[in-house]
Amino acid sequence: MPKTQAQRIVLATHNAGKVRELAESLTGFGVEVLGLAEACPDLAEIEETGTTFEENALIKARCVAGIAGLVSVADDSGLEVDALGGAPGVYSARYADDWPGLPGESRDQRNIRKLLHVLADVPEGKRSCRFVSCMAAVRPDGVEMTVRGLWEGRLLMAPRGENGFGYDPLFFDPVIGRAAAELSREEKNARSHRGNAVRALLARWREFMRP
């Protein structure tokens, strides 16, 4: 593929933190990472109609690659709870949208409140779960790649910690003995599903970008 395209990629997110993290990871590959605000400032929110993390990541990456004419990378992630047959899965971010919110409650807090309610009668030994992150990379010429990262754990009976976001206060990592919301950013990146997905992406990056 043209050299100019190989030197610039678009991360399909408006999250500046995600853009910065991927840019730091790809430093040794000589590429510049752009966010949607720079590459596609007028792009409306992309509707995620897939039923799997891979499908949703590819939907976003294909859309942005087609509009920007550059390599695009997108991720889709969520929480799978074994006692719930893998739910909330791809619906993790909007899991409790059907629940009325409490005064001052954030969306994340409402999701946690619903999950704790649904699992109220599930004992500690049956609360296994995992965070899943799928990353998709799409070239303008149609070449595609998907990778997956996992983070195995179990759900606590009550939230712990002040860091992170989403379900982090409920997710307990038995290997290090702390909740995700009790970890520093560096500790979380070393263990997390997204960190594992990024490392899997980087392991295949040179092959993916080969003309």
Q: What per-residue confidence (pLDDT) applies to 31? A: 82
Give the whole-angstrom CA distance, residue 81 versus residue 138: 30
pLDDT, position 3: 43
| pLDDT band at residue 6 under the 50/70/90 scheme | very low
CATH code, domain carrying 163: 3.90.950.10
Residue 5's pLDDT band (cuts 50, 70, 90): very low
Q: Which domain does 9 fall in, by range? A: 3-209
Residues labelled catalytic: 76
Tell me what the pLDDT averaged over the chain comes to.
90
109/120 Cα distance (integer angstroms): 16
Q: Which of 43-52, 122-131, 189-198 has the least mean pLDDT?
A: 43-52
pLDDT in tens, 70-107: 999 999 999 999 999 999 999 999 999 999 999 999 99
Phi and psi angles of residue 171, each rounded to the nearest 5 degrees, phi first: -90, 120
> Does the model's pTM come out above 0.85?
yes
* Rounded distance between C-alpha atoms, residue 9 and residue 2, angstroms: 13
Q: How many domains does the chain have?
A: 1
For residue 52, the one-letter residue type is: T
Low-confidence winner among 25-29, 51-55, 111-115, 201-205 (lowest mean pLDDT): 25-29
Indicate the pairing of strand 32-35 with strand 71-81.
unpaired
